[in-house]
């Protein structure tokens, strides 16, 4: 039995699938990942700052203009569309097989594909709020302005509802993540190097039968996986969809 057959069989047998995904889930949608050779962190930092520094809470507060310049050019991809990975997961949710998606991504592509059971560990570019009055704003509201986006009511800075370096993950999202992982019977881990903590440590809460790891490069979790697939995730999921 080849890898695709095995993966398809486990999906067919499962009733509570959880997908834990990272940046590699969206690379086939044209969004660069963070840590591969082509990723965001391989670029030289602008004006002497590293990307990690520019995406930190302290940098946002001290260098707000530079923060938004970097954020707009590197993290917002309004033209991106869901790829086969997102579409297959939406199909599994429709079939009642998918318990939840846990994503480290902030792009909202899972929801665009039709998934509703999505836990966003690092927030979303589609949710924004005024740092002064807390009014909510959409991505479109932010893109309608240039430079630092400001609240038309009180001129407060509108910031993305994303977790910056130096900030904690949302406690309620963490609790829901632990709950769904501990209920799952099949864990699909896709497009993540599993190096970003605390997010990466969450997969240890899985108590189900099989773990499948779909990632182009090795991870520290490989030895715990029942099946390792390094082929491009989009083509893997397309083949699975044809067999389902």
- 122 as an active site residue: the answer is yes
Helix axes 233-243 and 3-13, enclosed angle (nearest 10):
60
The region that residue 118 occupies, defined by phi over 0 for left and psi between -120 and 50 for alpha, beta otherwise, is beta
Give the C-alpha separation, 238 to 244, whole Å. Answer: 10
Burial call 106-138: b when 16+ CB within 10 Å, e when fewer? bbbbbbebebebbbbbbbbbbbbbbeeeeeebe
Q: Are the CB atoms for 120 and 163 separated by under 8 Å?
A: no
Identified catalytic residue from 86, 87, 110, 122? 122
- Tokens 């927030």 identify what position? 123
> What tokens does 45 get?
């930092």
Q: Is the peptide bond before 20 cis (omega within 30 degrees of 0)?
A: no
Give the C-alpha separation, 150 to 130, whole Å. Answer: 7
End-to-end CA distance of the chain: 16
Alpha-carbon Rg of the chain, whole angstroms? 18
Q: Are the CB atoms for 177 and 187 separated by under 8 Å?
A: no
> What tokens does 41 get?
């962190």
Residues with a known catalytic role: 122
């Amino acid at each position: 039995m080849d890898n695709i057959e095995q993966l398809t069989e486990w999906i067919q047998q499962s009733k509570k699938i959880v997908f834990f995904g990272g940046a590699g889930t969206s690379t086939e949608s044209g969004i660069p990942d963070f840590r591969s050779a082509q990723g965001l962190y391989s670029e030289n930092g602008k004006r002497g700052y590293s990307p990690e520094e520019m995406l930190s809470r302290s940098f946002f507060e001290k260098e707000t203009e530079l923060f938004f310049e970097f954020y707009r050019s590197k993290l917002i991809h309004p033209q991106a569309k869901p790829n086969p990975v997102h579409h297959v997961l939406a199909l599994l949710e429709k079939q009642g097989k998918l318990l939840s998606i846990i994503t480290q991504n902030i792009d909202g592509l899972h929801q665009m594909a039709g998934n509703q059971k999505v836990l966003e560990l690092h927030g979303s570019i589609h949710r924004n709020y005024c740092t002064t009055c807390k009014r909510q704003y959409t991505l479109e509201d932010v893109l309608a302005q240039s430079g630092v986006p400001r609240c038309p009511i009180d001129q407060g800075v509108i910031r993305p509802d994303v977790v910056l370096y130096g900030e904690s993950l949302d406690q309620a999202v963490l609790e829901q993540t632990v709950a769904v992982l501990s209920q799952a019977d099949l864990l699909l881990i896709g497009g993540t190097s599993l190096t970003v903590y605390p997010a990466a440590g969450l997969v240890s809460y899985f108590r189900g039968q099989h773990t499948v790891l779909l990632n182009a490069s090795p991870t520290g979790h490989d030895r715990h996986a029942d099946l390792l697939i390094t082929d491009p995730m989009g083509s893997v999921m397309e083949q699975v969809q044809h067999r389902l």
